[in-house]
Structure 1
Amino acid sequence: MELIIKNGTVVTAKETYLADVGVAGGKIVAIAEKLEDPEARVIDATGKYVMPGIIDGHVHLALPFGGTVSADDFSSGTKAAAFGGVTTIVDFAIQMKGESLADAIARRRAEADGKVCIDYGLHVGITDAREEVLREIPEVISNGCPTFKLFMTYDAFVVDDGTLLSIIEKTTDSGGMVGVHAENHKIIGYLTARLLSEGKTAPQYHAVSRPDWCEAEATSRAIRLAEAVGGKLYIFHLTCSRALDEVVAGRERGMPVYAETCPQYLLLTADCYLEPDFGGAKYVMSPPLRTAFDNEALWKGLRDGYLQVVGSDHCPFTMEQKKLGLGDFTKIPNGAPGVETTLPLLYSEGVLKGRISLNRMVEVLSTNPACLFGLPNKGSLAVGYDADIVIFDPDKEVVLSYQDLHMCTDYSPYEGLRVKGYPVTTISRGRVIVENGIFTGDFTHGRFVARRLPQF
């Protein structure tokens, strides 16, 4: 063995127990009560949790949006992820108008390969569904990108219902899965025009222009369309009780619909948009923040199994970039930093407050994303799996501040929040890449992972 993690408490989606974990060749090769090998490096994890690395299935690195580009590139973004215990991300290859899907993937891989310290995959964003593009879908799936994102809003990306239906059908028949950004585009346009005509331009009106019923309607519509053709469906960044009700109803009808939420929708509310001096712009994201009632409904949805995944939707912009929307909330770049803080937030605010169990946290951050996104050798601690491991100190207390975090922004949505429990060591395929606050990885270690969905 090359590495032994000794005396830790192993935590999986199903079990919690004391054991040593042995690693060789980038894989977990042994889990036992006592492992010994004089040639192995030993990490003492006494008093700490040893968990599968986090799989963040929703990040946007170097994303062109709103006349600018998200502030983290693949190097800075994966480094920040590693400090947060994340060992795999799934980003997006969003098709440009006139571009093939294969070219979109190749373009995105050229931006990432050789510049990532952890493993990554790509969802494919279809924005120009020409007939020849639809014919590409089976090959794209067989080449390791089996998940697609379709936008039910945004002028540059939106697809109509007929296109959505046809892509769900084509993707399902080829062994893939469609995910949606679910908001009603026409309603957003109508409400936005009315607000601007009334001179309501401040950040707070971003949320007013995208009400919860607008998200719920689009969620219901997407589920019904998928149901009509026997397709699977994934809902990205679900924010509210009303949209969750639609997911619950679909699942209770036997529909294979899966949904993700994010820490910001569990912990923050639309009151943040009232922060003075344009501070509310920090929280402009789509869909927007909701209410405390919605926060608690989502925690319950996680606990009860109706929400299967927590992703960060990491899409960071600096305040200077946010100021593109001074005087017009529609021009504020949408997104916030989060890839580094998901794990400590979910533990401190979820597990320690009794909202979800420790095992459920591992399930929604690691095991379920591995299954839903087609990463069969990741997401759990078991012999033969990739040695993607996070050592987590449940007693370490940290006051979150952008000055101490590694994401390329000059603010944190959680600035000043004290969390208890923090990742201290991150291991990617057997290599220690973060240890005791020091980055020890390099940007040639991470690799593109070709994924294949299970038949669930």
Structure 2
Amino acid sequence: MRTLIRNGTVVNAGGAVAADVLVDGETIAAVAAPGLLDTAFDNIDNVIDATGKYVLPGGIDAHTHMEMPFGGTSSADTFATGTTAAAWGGTTTIIDFAVQAKGTSLLATMDKWHEKADGNCAIDYGFHMIISDVNDTSLKEMESCIDAGVNSFKMFMAYPGVFYATDGEILLAMQKATETGSMIMMHAENGIAIDQLVAQAIAAGRTDPVEHGLTRPPELEGEATHRAIQLAKVTGAPLYIVHLSSRHALAAVAEARNTGQNVFAETCPQYLFLSLDDLARPDFEGSKFVCSPPLRPKDHQTDLWRGLRTNDLSVVSTDHCPFCFKDQKELGRGDFSKIPNGMPGVEHRMDLLHQGVVHGEISLARWVEISSATPARMFGLYPRKGVITAGADADIVVYDPAATQVLSAATHHMNVDYSAYEGWELIGRVETVLSRGAIVVSDGAFHGREGHGRFLSRELSQYLV
């Protein structure tokens, strides 16, 4: 099937240009000046008029947690519901985290996540691997994971007794990453110190959700980020800091990058738009905003936006890990430490970042760069993904920059009973989404299907020097 997208403004990381796009089957066949493709190809089956609209490469959310076990429950979105919601919001690829349990192998973990995802995803998907048990076997299995297209490995300096890795274990995994060219991803918070602060708060009767933020201060994110960077420097490993939330951590990343070290970082929409004030909402409403690292005071947002402009923050992902307010978040009533950590967001990332364009925080091209092009390059998918060019997968979003929408749990498609942005009016909206040439969203309706999405075996990062 051939689809011609006419009269739009094609936006790539390099800039915007008036152009038409021809899709042939699953790939982009041509990008040309307006009108040139009208008669250049026969048998055009479908024409999409993109007058006044942006034509973007599909978004890549490089940090999601579908069906993830946590704190005695599991995140509320399945791979089917989560990828459908992602498509509604203009994201056409996710990279999810396969979670190794203590005492299990990495390869068995990968198989388990394939069982969850294969045949159920509405868009394309890949995996990162969470290493929670560092030993000779798992270090060797890192090589097999890379051969299977999973070449990024997440570790935790937080959650003692669950995911926590010692500095020695981190060093061993980093040495393996240096040997293989793979990427270490780090949840950088000082979990040992945080656990002490949490215990002290509970003992003192301070149990409301806001204490989640107060007992995980930004200084302990900054300290852990600095420590992870030093371990990476000693071993020569590339390092990607996930869900960076504070100016303290950002300063450590910027310092390392200024010396030429292979250190990268992502932030998330919740840290750009929400704050500690939301965690402090009364009547347990603050539990809706419990995630780790926690939301910070509002003044950190200015630094994060600046970091996006300077490229000290290279990617915006969601850390999508939804837990319903009823029955899941409520597990922590009377004890904030038992509130499942995570927030919904996979459906709204592209729209929220567009507000940064609207308000002059980032350029139009930078919007595409941080949401699509850089994730593709960072995680070995470019130029198959992340760009509108001949030969790339036809993952395309037609975006109306003048439309308005109001976010609400009543209308979103994520499998969660609240919206972190309830009632927010946004400028801009996805109009049409193609995934590998198939129209999955159009005219306010979903036309995709479970099983359309394919597993992506990824190459090594293109940013390593």
TM category (shorter chain) comes to over 0.9
Question: What amino acid sits opposite 2:110 in the alignment?
Answer: I
Q: Which residue of 1 aligns with 2:133?
A: 128
Matched, 1:260 2:266: yes
Match of residue 442, structure 2, among 435, 447, 453: 435
Q: 2:227 aligns with which of 221, 227, 252?
A: 221
Q: Conserved in 1, the CA contact under 8 Å of 2:182 and 2:461? A: no
Summarize deviations over 1:131-162 as a string: whole Å, max 9, x none: 11111111211210000100111131111001
Partners of 1:187 and 1:424 in 2: CA distance:
47
In 1: Cα distance, 2:330 partner to 2:42 partner:
57
CA contact (8 A) 2:15 2:364 kept: no
AA aligned opposite 2:56: M
Map 1:293-442 → 2, pairs under 5 A: 293-320=299-326, 321-348=328-355, 350-376=356-382, 377-442=384-449
Deviation at 1:85, TM superposition (A): 0.2
CA positional deviation for 1:38 = 4.9
SS of the equivalent of 2:133 reads coil
Q: Does 2:36 align with 1:30?
A: no
Partners of 1:382 and 1:288 in 2: how far apart? 38
Structure-2 residue corresponding to 1:140? 145
CA distance in 1, matches of 2:279, 2:461: 41
- Cα deviation for residue 436 of structure 1 reads 2.0
What residue identity is the alignment partner of 2:185? G
Q: Is the 8 A contact 1:55 1:366 kept in 2?
A: yes
Cα deviation per residue 1:295-340 (whole Å; 9 max; x = unaligned)? 1100000011110000011111111110000000000001111000
**What is the distance in 2 between the residues matched to 1:274 and 1:446?**
39
Question: Aligned pair count?
Answer: 455
Residue 236 of structure 1: aligned partner = 242
> Aligned-pair distance for 1:276?
1.5
- Runs (4+) of structure 1 moved beyond 3 Å? none
**Rounded Cα–Cα distance in structure 2 between residues aligned with 1:164 and 1:454:** 20
Distance, in Å, in 1 between the alignment partners of 2:113 and 2:345 is 21
Three-state SS of the structure 1 residue aligned to 2:64 is: coil
CA distance in 1, matches of 2:385, 2:178: 23
Change (3 A) 1:403 1:190: same
Say yes or no: does 1:39 pair with 2:46.
no
Which structure 2 residues correspond to residues 115-264 of structure 1 after superposition, within 5 A?
115-154=120-159, 155-264=161-270
Task: Tell me which residue corresponds to 1:3.
Answer: 3
Aligned counterparts of 2:194 and 2:242: Cα–Cα separation in 1: 18
User: Does structure 2 retain, via aligned residues, the 8 Å contact 1:83–1:437?
Assistant: no
Following superposition, the deviation at residue 454 of structure 1 comes to 3.8
**TM-score normalised by structure 2 residue count:** 0.97
Residue deviations 1:226-272 (CA, integer Å, cap 9, x gap): 01111100000000111100000111111110000000000111011
Unaligned runs of 5+ in 1: none
- One-letter code aligned to 1:27: T
Whether the aligned pair in 2 keeps the contact of 1:340 and 1:406 (CA below 8 Å) is yes
Q: Is the 8 A contact 1:138 1:171 kept in 2?
A: no
What do you get for the CA RMSD once the two structures are aligned?
0.9
- How far, CA to CA, are the matches of 1:398 and 1:219 in structure 2? 37
Residue type at the aligned position of 1:68 = T
Which secondary structure does the structure 2 equivalent of 1:319 belong to?
Answer: coil
> Which amino acid counterpart does residue 105 of structure 1 have in structure 2?
M
- Tell me if the contact between 2:122 and 2:450 (Cα under 8 Å) persists in the aligned partners: yes
In structure 1, C-alpha distance between the alignment counterparts of 2:407 and 2:145, rounded to whole Å: 40
% same residue = 49
SS of equivalent to 2:351: helix
Superposition TM-score, scaled by structure 1 size: 0.99
Separation in 2, partners of 1:454, 1:343: 23
For residues 109 and 72 of structure 1, the distance between their equivalents in structure 2, rounded to whole angstroms, comes to 16
Task: Give the aligned residue type for 2:109.
Answer: A
Secondary structure of 2:299's counterpart equals helix
Give a deviation string over 1:8-48, Cα, whole Å, max 9, x none: 10000012011110111211110012212452211111110
CA drift at 1:172: 2.2
Which residue of structure 1 aligns with residue 278 of structure 2?
272
- Structure 1 counterpart of 2:43, one-letter code: E
* CA distance in structure 1 between the aligned counterparts of 2:314 and 2:461, rounded to whole angstroms: 16
Contact 2:177 2:184 in 1 (8 A): yes
Residue identity in the other structure for 2:22: G
